Structure 1
Amino acid sequence: MLKCDSQTYKDLELEKLQDILRDYCIGPSALKIVDQLKPVRNNEELIKFLNQTSELVEIRREGEAFPRLEFEELNSEIKMLPVQNASLPQESFARIRLASTMVNALLYFFNKREADFPQLYELLENVEFTKEIIEKIDTIFDKHGKVKDDASPGLLAIRQQMQSLKRHIHSAFDRSMRKLLKKGYLSDTKEGFMNDRRVLAVLSSYKREVSGQVVGSSKSGNVTFIEPGETVPLNKEYEQLLDDERKEIFIILQGLTREMLAYLPLIKNYQQVLTKLDFINAKSRLALLLDANKPSINDDMVMEMIDCYHPLLKLNNEALGKMTVPQRISMDKESRMLVISGPNAGGKSITLKTVGLLQLMLQCGLLVPLHPNSKMCLFDSLLTDIGDNQSIVDELSTYSYRLKRMKHFLNVANENSLLLLDEFGTGSDPDLGGALAEVFFETLYDKKSFGVITTHYSNIKLKADKLPQAVNGCMLFDTETLNPLFRFSTGQPGSSFTFEVAQINGIPKGLINKAKSKLDRKKVKMDELLHELQKEKSYLNRLTKEHILAQETAEKHRLYYEETKEKYERKLNSLKNKAEETSKLVSLGNKLQSYIDEYKVGVKKKNVNAPLMQDVKKYIAKEKSKIEEAKQEIRLKKQAKKKKNKPNKTVNEYRQDKIKVGSKVKLIATKQTGEVEEIKGDDVTVLLGFARMKVKLRQLIYISN
């Protein structure tokens, strides 16, 4: 398990991702998991959680019709069901029915997909497809969730009485209203509705003229609401019937509760499956929001985060319409201490926080925003010292706080620790603090820890250059404009650009030269060297980009040339074929014309043209033979091609002769597996999960009996 203290969670702002997850949760159980989100204890369990989320993300990205997660948790129902003589409220049955429908839909979705999504399918191993719960509830409730009239004979009789009595009440009320309306005792509104009963809106000056029960008056007092005397006893009788209805419904629901008790283990499993899936769904929606993926996780302590970015930075930039520059960060046992330097506001701290937050997300079971070909490993502890954490309450300065943190790190850090130290060594005298920081750096290095460190100290940069398993890196700047590029580069330390930034901000050159003269010449020389190196690197990067662009352009033109050449060759071949056909037709025409010219007309001698006709017949026979030979050649080529494309599988190789009722078979076309239910001649009925399908015997592959 990854060990982190509360300060690490605060430094890396995990709570902001928790806020997003909370918005995606449906029930309180998933919300509770989000509130307690911590690194997963067991690495095997962590891999399972990551795979579950990754599978659901794949389903969403592929656009498959995954059941919409709509359910209410069943904790109160699970507690109430075992209570003797208990009766669940009506809404509880609606929740149980919804959960059963939801789980059935999930089972139907994953049927035939267990090989594609094994981790999600495993969630459903303790539930089964059943319509019994739904059917029992539907026997009692209608589609609006009301208890049906025929839920019991007693309820049907009571409701019939209620309907009859209601008609009497309305009839009596309407008679009274018409009578008083003729007398002019009623206000313009004529009637009202109070305490679920119709009442007369009587002008207050006539209220003593109307028999009945006063139930209220208007705000002005001008209208008095009276229940007519004819309906008072009828309404009391109706109240008694309502009480009888409530008692009968209680008895019905009590009986249905006893029936549901038999399904209590399944209902408990419904609760477990749906709440787990609720949390997995929230994680998958966060992954889709961040375009996150599951990297490959190795035991060799190798980190290669390709196109990674800080999730909170990306969300903020998207809201502002700005682009987020992805980074590539690599670390392994041979380059386990990464020292990042460069000017302020260039992105050093963000790069450090990106490594930390992505590692924390991964070990909390969340997918991380990077390319899926990336590699990550698992650490035992994540130790951070980021930002100004001085405490007025504890009377700690920034430097005192950092020394206390460093003391803790020196005690607990080991080869399975990842340290994130921002502005390493600051808070004290630069020379003295730098010397102490260098000693801390060497000590942590000797403990074989992994670390990402940002610093301005030259001695730390030099130490990283000398130690074989440490490496320098920097955030790139445009050396012309001194604007940050927010791109990380490994292999060399970064210049602080202190004097260049001062000059571009209008500080006189004389003051800058005076400041330079006060520095150790070696330090100035080193900063100038770093500046030149970064300038040369920027120039080389530009040349590389131009070279790549030129290669891409050349390749594009080469492809265009190849396509054009092929097109013209096809046209040339087509023209050649047409020329040959035309030449052949001309030759035929000339031959026929010669026969026509030789044909003798008007000669009385018998059979004078017989020899000529014999030549014509021979010529036609010869040409016909050539045509037949050409057709035969085409037929043979087609047969050879058909034979070549014909599958090698034979009936015997598919073992279709072994197929009988009860055999396990596979559809050749769709690769679905099922069981033979019925065979009629060449027609076979196959049970595929919940569906039946009639297919021909030749469409199946025998698997086993």
Structure 2
Amino acid sequence: MLYPDNSADKLGFNEVKELIKAHCLSTMGRQMVDKIQVMNNYDNIRKFLSQAAEFKDILTNDAALPIQHFFDIKTLANKARIEGAFLSEEEFYQVQASLSTVFAVIAYFNEREGQYPNLEALFEHLPIEKSILKKIGLVIDEKGKIRPNASRELQDITSSIAKAEQEARRKIDQIFKSAAANNWTADGSLTVRDGRLCIPLLAENKRKLKGFVHDESASGQTVYMEPEEVFTLNNRVRDLEFERRREIVKILTQLTDDLRPYVPLLLSYHGLLTKLDFVRAKALFAIDIDGSLPEVTNDASIKLVNARHPLLYLSFKKEQRTVVPLNVSIDESSRVIVVSGPNAGGKSVCMKTVGLLLMMVQAGLLIPADDTSRMGVFKQLFVDIGDDQSIESDLSTYSAHLSKMKYFAENANGKTMILIDEFGTGTDPQFGGPIAEAVLESLNQKKVKGMVTTHYSNLKIFASNTEGLENASMLFNNVEMKPLYILEVGKPGSSYAFEIAQKIGLPQHVLNLAKNKISAGQKKVDTLLVDLEREKKEIYDTRIKLNSQQQKVNTLLAENAKLKDYLEENKKNLIREAKQQAQSIILNANKLVENTIAEIKSSNADKEKTKALRDNLNVELKKNTVKTEQPKPAANAEEIQKGDWVKLTDSDTTGQVIEINKDNVVIAIGDLRTVAKRKRVQKVSSSSVPKEVRRRSASSVGDYSSFSPEIDVRGMRGEEALYAIERMLDRALMMSFNNIKILHGKGDGILRKLIRDYLKKYDQVDRMEDEHADRGGDGITYVYLR
């Protein structure tokens, strides 16, 4: 329960809902966002939060969910429910597209069974009735138009229309040629008037032809006549079109009758699509605000770790600034946090962050805070923020505050969260302070949880001496006179009234007068608070510095341990390999020596023969001597430029650099192209590259820069055109082009059909499409490659 009714506006919750609505794909989803309410049922809160978290996981870590079409099939199902009514072609297409999306989504989750249990529960026990799609598919094609063969009668009518139109065209062409031969026609060709094809005749010749005059030119010198014979044929076409329309209505009515038994199932599918759109929008908003799923408990407590106000986070994100995170706990030991500190120090934002994040969690929305945060469930949220004075109700600012305090004191309990800004203000501080203290004491006795902001010293003292209340302050840099927007729990803060007034430029004599008017005790308290703030700031800075240094030390120790382990492992491997190599060399040397001695003994060799064998022995031993080569230093990657020859460091492959993109280089290796990191290539001189490789690379690089993925085969014979297209396709595939463009002209469509049938045999061809009608239409084919 929220009190007052405008609490959602005060805390920014309605603004959050508008941002979520912007991510919805359908009207149904937006309507569902409008219905978002703060819940207090623990199980429902857990369910909705888990659904949003699972969908966020899909969006960030898994393949895209096949959500393409969101139509309002509930309205269409209700229309189909009425006897005698029928859905149009477009409406059947919407049903078909929506059902395809539903079945694709269900298949997606079936492939990942058990991975997203809360989302799977959305369509649990929902039957998959693909016969609906099959029935619609027999009548409606992929573009949402009725199929010409949807019925035998429709097929016959369509064929008759085509024949009649062809006959009418042939007849009018014949008459036009005859009239033109007799010089009866005006300049121009056949034209359309009132939807009918007409011949432009000179006005003086209009009696020479029988027909119906549909129009005349502005000068009256040209009339547009539909010949009598053609007039009769066109009327026949129009009659057939009316007949075709009646047949289509008959087919759609029958299809609607077939669909009517499935209306309850269609409504269930509609509900699934609406929920998916709704949860998807919540997940996308969570990604925008870097939201996560906190631990949710069924008790009335809060622990926020590195929390940010979502609206402030988005605003700062646009300006490339960061929000200072909030860390606060509200539980049985610290039920009410009394926040004090300077004006514009962040007290109200801190309190609003707590309230808004609580509302978001209890509405099933992920929040911008660490997942170690813990959020409880509160039955009531009472808010007193801003000025609610009312002329109509005869309420002043303070009266409005008091009426809320009355409601809080009467209705709050241990499951209530209260948020009160500038507690006690609006009246004489001498009386407002004690009244606020009394209200706070009453609320504390009811074990309420919450956060209040104040400047009153009596409330700070009361919080210090009362169990269940906890002082907190917003840290302030009193040297630079700037707020730090960091909440520090445990001690009250100074309002820095004199310091801020001095910085703004209030005259010094005015400040001195003000200081003389406050009591010595109040001066002492404020001075102690300022000194305490300064000490707290120094301790905080020291702690941050120590934490940073400790992290660096821990990182260095971890790196040192890893390096030590790596060196030890490599040392063992090198020793083992060296021993194996030495044993192999000794074994081979012993065999060679023994063989040489045996040959000398067996042949009773003379001195020359013995000398030759010894020389051979020395040569073989030198071959087996291990030579330690100094590794050549790698060329500096920064020196590599376009056109340089390079060698891959992990192979002997040599190529020429044709493009440099940040840390990557594009290398031409013959007719092939490859991309490698700069650190994986080593610059070599062009003289060390064989001439044949340089010549082939130069030709290939030239081809790459001059190649155009477009070919014009108009006027070519069929075989000639196919040969040219095949060569171009080979080069396009080799150079990794995504598509090619073929200009073949329209004509009778023979060349286009020949080319497309020929290209269908290639596995590398993904699909073929016509050019846009305004830019050539079916006279140009785009071929998209895999």
The residue type equivalent to 2:156 in the other structure is A
Kindly tell me: are residues 531 and 87 of structure 1, through their superposed partners in 2, closer, same or farther at Cα, counting changes over 3 Å? same
Kindly tell me: are residues 161 and 586 of structure 1, through their superposed partners in 2, closer, same or farther at Cα, counting changes over 3 Å? closer
1:372 Cα shift? 1.3
Task: Tell me the equivalent position of 1:239.
Answer: 238
The residue type equivalent to 2:343 in the other structure is N
Q: Unaligned stretches of 5+ in structure 1?
A: 606-705
DSSP 3-state at the match of 2:452:
strand
CA distance in structure 2 between the aligned counterparts of 1:523 and 1:206, rounded to whole angstroms: 112
The residue type equivalent to 2:400 in the other structure is Y
Kindly tell me: are residues 241 and 540 of structure 1, through their superposed partners in 2, closer, same or farther at Cα, counting changes over 3 Å? same
Task: Tell me the equivalent position of 1:357.
Answer: 356
DSSP 3-state at the match of 2:6:
helix
Kindly tell me: are residues 82 and 531 of structure 1, through their superposed partners in 2, closer, same or farther at Cα, counting changes over 3 Å? same
Are 2:57 and 1:53 equivalent residues in the alignment?
A: no
Task: Tell me the equivalent position of 1:174.
Answer: 173
DSSP 3-state at the match of 1:253:
helix
CA distance in structure 2 between the aligned counterparts of 1:313 and 1:17, rounded to whole angstroms: 11
Task: Tell me the equivalent position of 1:502.
Answer: 501
Name which of structure 1's ranges 22-31 and 563-572 shifts more when overlaid on structure 2.
563-572
Alpha carbons 1:479, 1:538 under 8 Å: kept: no
Task: Tell me the equivalent position of 1:671.
Answer: none
DSSP 3-state at the match of 2:38:
coil
DSSP 3-state at the match of 1:116:
coil
DSSP 3-state at the match of 1:190:
coil
Task: Tell me the equivalent position of 2:388.
Answer: 389
Alpha carbons 2:42, 2:298 under 8 Å: kept: no
TM-score by length of 2: 0.71
CA distance in structure 1 between the aligned counterparts of 2:504 and 2:556, rounded to whole angstroms: 46
CA distance in structure 1 between the aligned counterparts of 2:241 and 2:281, rounded to whole angstroms: 45
Kindly tell me: are residues 468 and 248 of structure 1, through their superposed partners in 2, closer, same or farther at Cα, counting changes over 3 Å? same
1:469 Cα shift? 0.4
Alpha carbons 1:309, 1:326 under 8 Å: kept: yes
The 5 A counterparts of 1:285-684 are 285-570=284-569, 573=572
The residue type equivalent to 2:346 in the other structure is G
Name which of structure 1's ranges 315-324 and 189-198 shifts more when overlaid on structure 2.
189-198
1:318 Cα shift? 1.3
The residue type equivalent to 2:274 in the other structure is T
DSSP 3-state at the match of 2:22:
helix
Task: Tell me the equivalent position of 2:72.
Answer: 73
The residue type equivalent to 2:86 in the other structure is S
Alpha carbons 2:11, 2:355 under 8 Å: kept: yes
1:106 Cα shift? 1.5
CA distance in structure 1 between the aligned counterparts of 2:481 and 2:473, rounded to whole angstroms: 14
Kindly tell me: are residues 440 and 157 of structure 1, through their superposed partners in 2, closer, same or farther at Cα, counting changes over 3 Å? same
Name which of structure 1's ranges 31-40 and 178-187 shifts more when overlaid on structure 2.
178-187
Are 2:251 and 1:252 equivalent residues in the alignment?
A: yes
CA distance in structure 1 between the aligned counterparts of 2:254 and 2:244, rounded to whole angstroms: 15
CA distance in structure 1 between the aligned counterparts of 2:220 and 2:394, rounded to whole angstroms: 70
CA distance in structure 2 between the aligned counterparts of 1:237 and 1:590, rounded to whole angstroms: 106
CA distance in structure 2 between the aligned counterparts of 1:237 and 1:525, rounded to whole angstroms: 106
1:263 Cα shift? 2.3
Q: Unaligned stretches of 5+ in structure 2?
A: 605-786
Are 2:131 and 1:132 equivalent residues in the alignment?
A: yes
Alpha carbons 1:339, 1:471 under 8 Å: kept: yes
CA distance in structure 1 between the aligned counterparts of 2:582 and 2:233, rounded to whole angstroms: 110
Kindly tell me: are residues 522 and 210 of structure 1, through their superposed partners in 2, closer, same or farther at Cα, counting changes over 3 Å? farther
1:217 Cα shift? 5.4
Task: Tell me the equivalent position of 1:115.
Answer: 114
State the Cα deviation string for residues 93-116 of structure 1 (Å, max 9, x = none): 112211221121111111143422
Kindly tell me: are residues 350 and 202 of structure 1, through their superposed partners in 2, closer, same or farther at Cα, counting changes over 3 Å? farther
The residue type equivalent to 1:364 in the other structure is A
Task: Tell me the equivalent position of 2:96.
Answer: 97
The residue type equivalent to 2:378 in the other structure is F
Kindly tell me: are residues 213 and 500 of structure 1, through their superposed partners in 2, closer, same or farther at Cα, counting changes over 3 Å? same
**Structure with bigger RCO (C-alpha 8 Å, 6+ apart):** 1
CA distance in structure 1 between the aligned counterparts of 2:65 and 2:298, rounded to whole angstroms: 34
The residue type equivalent to 2:515 in the other structure is K
1:5 Cα shift? 3.6
CA distance in structure 2 between the aligned counterparts of 1:588 and 1:159, rounded to whole angstroms: 92
The residue type equivalent to 2:267 in the other structure is K
DSSP 3-state at the match of 1:6:
coil
State the Cα deviation string for residues 309-364 of structure 1 (Å, max 9, x = none): 11111111112222111211211011110111111111111111111111111222
State the Cα deviation string for residues 392-441 of structure 1 (Å, max 9, x = none): 44443222222222222222211111111111111111222112111111
CA distance in structure 2 between the aligned counterparts of 1:177 and 1:491, rounded to whole angstroms: 100
Kindly tell me: are residues 285 and 591 of structure 1, through their superposed partners in 2, closer, same or farther at Cα, counting changes over 3 Å? closer
State the Cα deviation string for residues 463-518 of structure 1 (Å, max 9, x = none): 11111101111111223212111121111111111122223334455543432221
1:232 Cα shift? 1.8
Kindly tell me: are residues 271 and 594 of structure 1, through their superposed partners in 2, closer, same or farther at Cα, counting changes over 3 Å? closer
Alpha carbons 1:30, 1:278 under 8 Å: kept: yes
DSSP 3-state at the match of 1:111:
helix
Alpha carbons 2:216, 2:223 under 8 Å: kept: yes
Alpha carbons 2:336, 2:449 under 8 Å: kept: yes
The residue type equivalent to 2:142 in the other structure is K
Kindly tell me: are residues 345 and 227 of structure 1, through their superposed partners in 2, closer, same or farther at Cα, counting changes over 3 Å? farther
CA distance in structure 2 between the aligned counterparts of 1:43 and 1:55, rounded to whole angstroms: 18
Alpha carbons 1:139, 1:151 under 8 Å: kept: yes
Kindly tell me: are residues 451 and 601 of structure 1, through their superposed partners in 2, closer, same or farther at Cα, counting changes over 3 Å? closer
CA distance in structure 2 between the aligned counterparts of 1:4 and 1:556, rounded to whole angstroms: 50
TM-score by length of 1: 0.79
Task: Tell me the equivalent position of 1:88.
Answer: 87
Alpha carbons 1:142, 1:148 under 8 Å: kept: yes
1:240 Cα shift? 0.9
CA distance in structure 1 between the aligned counterparts of 2:130 and 2:587, rounded to whole angstroms: 81
Task: Tell me the equivalent position of 1:637.
Answer: none
C-alpha RMSD of matched pairs (Å)? 3.2
Alpha carbons 2:40, 2:379 under 8 Å: kept: no
Kindly tell me: are residues 203 and 378 of structure 1, through their superposed partners in 2, closer, same or farther at Cα, counting changes over 3 Å? farther
Task: Tell me the equivalent position of 1:271.
Answer: 270
Kindly tell me: are residues 71 and 541 of structure 1, through their superposed partners in 2, closer, same or farther at Cα, counting changes over 3 Å? same
The residue type equivalent to 1:190 in the other structure is S
State the Cα deviation string for residues 132-178 of structure 1 (Å, max 9, x = none): 22221111122222222221111111111100000012122323433
Task: Tell me the equivalent position of 1:63.
Answer: 62
1:195 Cα shift? 4.1
Kindly tell me: are residues 596 and 301 of structure 1, through their superposed partners in 2, closer, same or farther at Cα, counting changes over 3 Å? same
- What percent of counterpart residues are identical? 32
Name which of structure 1's ranges 551-560 and 55-64 shifts more when overlaid on structure 2.
551-560
DSSP 3-state at the match of 2:226:
strand
State the Cα deviation string for residues 446-479 of structure 1 (Å, max 9, x = none): 2221121111111111111111101111111223
Alpha carbons 1:107, 1:128 under 8 Å: kept: no
Aligned length: 604
Alpha carbons 2:297, 2:376 under 8 Å: kept: yes
1:581 Cα shift? 7.1
State the Cα deviation string for residues 83-132 of structure 1 (Å, max 9, x = none): 22332211221122112211211111111434221221111124223432
CA distance in structure 1 between the aligned counterparts of 2:593 and 2:246, rounded to whole angstroms: 115
Alpha carbons 1:69, 1:278 under 8 Å: kept: no
1:258 Cα shift? 2.0
DSSP 3-state at the match of 1:142:
coil
Kindly tell me: are residues 227 and 566 of structure 1, through their superposed partners in 2, closer, same or farther at Cα, counting changes over 3 Å? same
DSSP 3-state at the match of 1:136:
helix
CA distance in structure 2 between the aligned counterparts of 1:109 and 1:586, rounded to whole angstroms: 61
